[in-house]
Each structure stands twice: as C-alpha cells, then as structure tokens.
Amino acid sequence: MADADEAAQPPDFGEWVAARGPALQRFAYLVTRSADDAPDLVQDALARAFTRWDDLARRGTADAYVRRSIVNANISGWRKRRRLVSVAEPEEYVAAAASTDAAHDDADAAWQLCAELPAKQRAAVVLRFYEDLPFAQIAVILDCPESTARSHVHRAVLALRARLSESEPTS
Amino acid sequence: MNDLETRAEQAFRDALSRQADAFETISLTPVRRESHARRIGLIAVAASLLLVLGTAVGVALWPRNSADRGPVEDTAGPAAGWRYESYRDVQIEVPVSWGYERGPRSDWCGGRDDRHPTEPYSDVFNRFDGVEAVGCMEEAPDPDLHGDGVPKRYWAPHVKFLDPELSAAVPDGTTAAGGWTRIVKTVGSTRVWVLADAEHLDEAGRIVESARVVTVDHSGCPVTSPIQAKAWVRPSEPFDVAAVDKVDSIAVCQYAMAEGTAKPGLLASRLLEGAAADDLLDAIKAAPVGGGPNAPENCLHEPSPNPAEVLRLTWAGSTGEIYVYNRSCVNNGFDDGTHRRELTRDACPLLWDGRVTYTSASSGPHQRCVLTR
C-alpha cells in the first residue's frame, strides 16, 4: 500500500528540476544558439512552471510546458532582434547557400542552416532530430497543428538537402 | 525519401548532438514563491533573509499618527515632477525621474551583474512573481538595509510596497548606516519601504510622507474589486464595448485574484488617455468574440492566486468595466459582461507598463500578451 501511495504522488518540483535541468538547458541552447541565454530562458520557464506545478505534475505535462515556455520566450526576443530568412521557399534559399565554404561537412551545414531558421522552425527541427519526438508531441509543445509541425521540419530538410546538393562536386 | 533527404536528416541529428554535447550546463535550482511558505523540496538557500535589526546604528521610530488621515479621493494631482503610485489602499508620490525596475532579491547572484538597476527606481516586483532559490554564497551586509542579503554594490535608491505579513521582521522607522537610509512606514493595509543614499534622502522622506489611504486611486481604480473573488466572475454591469465609439480614458487596474474581497486587492494601476486609450479600445473591439485562447486540458480550472486586470472605460459621462483574465488555461479574454473577446497580440500587450506587469501564465495567453513585435 505504501508503494502504491508513493507511486501516486506527483514528482517533487526540486527533484524534477535536478533531473531534467541539464536536458532542458541543452534544448534551450539548441533553440537559441546562445550559451548565455539558454540558462536564463530555462530559469524563467521554471519560474512559470512552478506556479502551476501541482497540476503539471499530476497531468505529466511539465516537460512540454517548460519547453513550450522556452520556445515562446525565445520567439519573443528573437523577433525583436533579428529579421530572419524563412525557408518556406527552399528554392530561394539555394542562391544564398552557394557562397558557403565547400569544406564544411554535412553537420556544419546543418548547424549553419539552423542559425538561419525562424525560431519556431528551428525548435521543430530540434524537437524532431535531437529530442526524437513524434510530430504529435512536437505540435503540442509548439502549440500548432501537427501538419504545421511536419511542414516546419520537412521544409528545413528540403532546404538542407538543396544546400548539400549544391555543395556536391560535379563530375 | 531520397538519399539526399536521408543525408540531410542525419546531418541535423549529427549537428545537434555535437552541439549539445559541447554545451556546458549549470546547476539549476528550483523556484520558490516569495509570498508563500510552500514546501517544494528546495535546495537550501544560503543567502541571509531579512534581519531583525537590533544593532546600535540609530533606529528612530517614525511617528505613526503623522499621516493616519482618513481615506481620501485625490483631486489636486501630484506635485510637478512627481507621479502617483498605488498599492492596496495606499497611494504615494514618487519622483518622475525614478524609473520602473525589478530590484534584486535573494536571487541577486543569478544572471549577469549588469542586470540590476543602478538608478533610482520604483520596484515592479509583486507578490505573485517567482524568486529563484539560488544559493548566493556571500555574507549579507550588516545591517542589511536592502533586505534579502543583497550586496551593497547592487543597491540603488528605490521604493516598494510590502504586505505586512511578508515583512514583519522589519519594524517601522528610519535606519541609517554606511551612507544609506531605509525608511519603512505602515500605512493602511500595506507598508511603504524606501531605501536611499545621501543624494536621494530628501526624495525618500517626501515619498514616505506622501503616503495616504485612498478608496479610489489616482487612475480611478477602486482599491477593492469583485475580480478578487475566489471564483471566476463577470462584470456586474454589462455593456457592449462595440457600441463605444471613443473613450475619454481607460484605467488599467490590476488586482490580486482569488484573495477574496474582504480587503483591498489593488496591486498597481495606470491611466491611458488620448491615442493610447484609442488604440486599446480599437484593439479590443477588433478582437474576435468568443474569448480565449483556452486550453482546459492544461491546468486546474479553479482560479489561483495571480493578478487579473479590470479596464475602466469612461466616455461621454458613462463608465464600463471590462474584466481581463489572462494567466490561466480557462476563461481567458476581455469580458464586458455581454461578450468575451479573445486575447490578441494587438490588444493584450498594450496593458503593460510601469508597475502593471505580466509574468507567469499559461502558454496560450502568454503568447498573446507578451509583446512580440
């Protein structure tokens, strides 16, 4: 009976932070590309999660909530500081990629492309290819339809494919 | 999927994995709410809390009855170069030159050194804001006039309001040490706290002396509102904002939800006139009817302690109130009692300025209410 009671208790907030903190920071870093901003975004997101912890823990939605907070906070700041090139039209993007260093390996090209993605699209790429989440779960985190989440990722893949194709040596 | 797409996907995986592995994480600590003594499994806080002052530094008691005037409604306006600010049932005057900042607290060591204010300010922190329970490993100043163990290098002249139950350790009075002076005075339902260096000591004294009890503050906000109820409520006198062509003013009155209506719950206020009022009115009228954004699966539906806003519109001799819930996952929107309108990115961010701030919220309203352009 005691074990069942313990199993029914929602996780302690402090213990959850200690366990998930490093992964959330890595996620925040990949989304923001800023080692300075990442911990701040995570701390702010945790502050928001704390005020509704009991409910989040009971529902098991804490992770999604915090990651969504991180993404949204980055979007808020990102739009004020930058004007980004959307990769909705990957054919347009190929022209800009032609000037990249041919020596970059594929991963370098991918990381460079991530820098140029709009914040939400980059978040979708991180959630898909780093967190390995299904699109349904990505959609919950990004608060968008699943089709939109798929589109974000697919267009990013097409853009990188185009860039990799341009860098192929011609025979 | 062709080979190049497969290669692209793998490239993303390799890049993100490589970058994540190279990133050095730091120890995160959980958050505690400064206004509640909740058990949440904290890492022990090493910073000193507010100290009971008993040292020989010259404690003088501020005469309590010098400003115990009855409740008043302001008619004269603040002195030139000063503005009004209010909290609960108390209104004070603050120099216009004092800005609005979030002052350092027990989490002073979290983040960059340059994030703390250096110029005189009115503190925007309210009891619903979270404080990081970081272990700031530095001995607190003695005496700790600022509070929370904040080092003197981060002190700046400031004024803040405190609820008496959260500041009982510090008595009313004036305490001076090391070139700094703290003045604390209980007025009405709250305490006015001012910290000043020698340069701003006169202003500090004048701030405290200006404190008086009001029933309606300088923005036209009653100190108590039905929105403080421990339930979701709608305006008791419905009107239709779509029928309002132009307003004289809009008062943004921020209250503490879910505290009940037995005591004043006003947290802050601001008054919009002219183009600012017109813009807010137009944005609300343009918002879709139906309320939201809501995500009822994301939270408990009972109202929890948080701020909520009442917009008091005045036009052609009439007054109407719009209730604004925007921090939960249910009942969000602008409610004039006739319709609930959706929180939109055009309307919601217009509410925030000065001490009327917006912090934690469910993601839906957060996306709409945080300025994103």
Give the nearest partner residue to A46 out of B18, B31, B111, using CB atoms: B31
pLDDT score recorded for residue B134:
66
- Residues in chain B within 8 Å Cβ distance of A51: 33, 128, 130, 304, 306, 360
- Residues in chain A within 8 Å Cβ distance of B29: 14, 17
pLDDT score recorded for residue B31:
59
pLDDT score recorded for residue B236:
87
pLDDT score recorded for residue B81:
87
Q: What is the 3-state secondary structure (H, E, C) of chain B?
A: CCHHHHHHHHHHHHHHHHHHHHCCCCCCCCEEECCCCCCCCCCCCCCCCCCCCCCCCCEECCCHHHCCCCCEECCCCCCCCEEEEEECCEEEEEECCCEEECCCCCCCCCCCHHHCCCCCEEECCCCCCEEECCCCCCCCCCCCCCCCCCCHHHCCCEEEEECHHHCCCCCCEEEEECCEEEEEEEECCEEEEEEEEHHHHHHHHHHHHHCEEEEECCCCCECCCHHHCCCCCCCCCCECHHHCCCCCEEEEEEEECCCCCCCCCEEEEEEEEHHHHHHHHHHHHHCCECCCCCCHHHCCCCCCCCEEEEEEEEECCEEEEEEEECCCCCCCEEECECCEECCCCCCHHHHCECCECCCCCCHHHHHHHCCCC
| Cα–Cα distance for residue pair A155/A152, rounded to 1 Å | 6
Pick from A30, A67, A32: nearest CA to A46: A67
**A81/B319: higher pLDDT:** B319
Which residues make beta-bridge pairs with B176? Answer: B181
- What angle, 0 to 180 degrees and rounded to 10, lies between the N-to-C axes of helices A106-116 and A119-129? 140
Q: End-to-end CA distance of chain B, in Å? A: 37
- Residues in chain A within 8 Å Cβ distance of B368: none
Give the nearest partner residue to B5 out of A79, A108, A157, using CB atoms: A157
Give the nearest partner residue to B4 out of A13, A47, A164, using CB atoms: A164
Pick from B196, B12, B363: nearest CA to A56: B363
B23 touching A (Cβ < 8 Å): yes
Burial code (b: 16+ CB inside 10 Å, e: under 16) for A6-42 equals eeeeebbbbebbbebbbebbbbbbbbbeeeebbbbbb
Q: End-to-end CA distance of chain A, in Å? A: 71
Give the nearest partner residue to A111 out of B15, B300, B306, using CB atoms: B15
Average pLDDT over residues B250-276: 93
pLDDT at B2 over 80: no
B9 touching A (Cβ < 8 Å): yes
pLDDT at B33 over 80: no
Asked if residues A73 and B366 have their Cβ atoms less than 8 Å apart, the reply is: no
- Residues in chain A within 8 Å Cβ distance of B8: 106, 110, 157-158, 160-161, 164
Structure confidence at residue B53 as a pLDDT band (50, 70, 90) = very low
Average pLDDT over residues B141-151: 90
| Residue count (chain B) | 373
Nearest CA in chain A to B370: A76
Give the nearest partner residue to A17 out of B9, B30, B298, using CB atoms: B30
The per-residue pLDDT of chain B, averaged, comes to: 83
pTM score of the predicted model:
0.58
Q: Retrieve residue B196's tokens.
A: 């000043």
Pick from B84, B138, B76, B95: nearest CA to B113: B138
Average pLDDT over residues A134-148: 87
- Residues in chain A within 8 Å Cβ distance of B370: 72, 76
| Cα–Cα distance for residue pair B255/B225, rounded to 1 Å | 7
**Interchain CB distance below 8 Å, A15 and B24:** no
How far away is chain A from the Cα of B113, in angstroms, using its nearest Cα? 13
Tell me phi and psi for residue A145, to 5 degrees.
-65, 155
pLDDT at B74 over 60: no
Identify the residue among B7, B10, B25, B38 best suited for mutation to test binding to A, counting A beta carbons within 10 A and taking the highest.
B25
Report pLDDT digits (tens) over A75-119. Answer: 765 434 434 444 444 433 333 333 344 435 899 999 999 998 888
pLDDT score recorded for residue B46:
31
Report pLDDT digits (tens) over B78-135. Answer: 888 899 999 999 999 999 999 999 899 888 887 676 788 999 999 998 888 777 666 7
**Interchain CB distance below 8 Å, A29 and B297:** no
pLDDT at B69 over 80: no
Pick from A40, A13, A47: nearest CA to B125: A47
- Residues in chain A within 8 Å Cβ distance of B114: none
B155 touching A (Cβ < 8 Å): no
Nearest CA in chain A to B366: A72
With a pLDDT cut of 90, the percent of chain A lying above it is: 26
Least confident of B118-122, B137-141, B193-197: B137-141
Report pLDDT digits (tens) over B6-26. Answer: 999 999 999 999 999 999 888
Tell me the pairing of strands B212-216 and B72-73: parallel
**Interchain CB distance below 8 Å, B14 and A26:** no
Average pLDDT over residues A53-79: 78
Give the nearest partner residue to A35 out of B5, B23, B360, using CB atoms: B23
pLDDT score recorded for residue A76:
62
- Report which residue type is found at B151: P
pLDDT score recorded for residue A49:
83
Burial code (b: 16+ CB inside 10 Å, e: under 16) for B166-179 equals ebeebebbbbbbee
Asked if residues A124 and A142 have their Cβ atoms less than 8 Å apart, the reply is: yes
Identify the residue among B1, B18, B19, B367 best suited for mutation to test binding to A, counting A beta carbons within 10 A and taking the highest.
B19
pLDDT at B55 over 60: no
pLDDT score recorded for residue B88:
96
Average pLDDT over residues B314-336: 90
pLDDT at A2 over 80: no
pLDDT at B271 over 60: yes
**B224/A89: higher pLDDT:** B224
pLDDT at B32 over 80: no
B35 touching A (Cβ < 8 Å): no
B258 touching A (Cβ < 8 Å): no
Those of residues 270-329 in B touching chain A at CB distance below 8 A are 297-300, 304, 306
Structure confidence at residue A53 as a pLDDT band (50, 70, 90) = confident
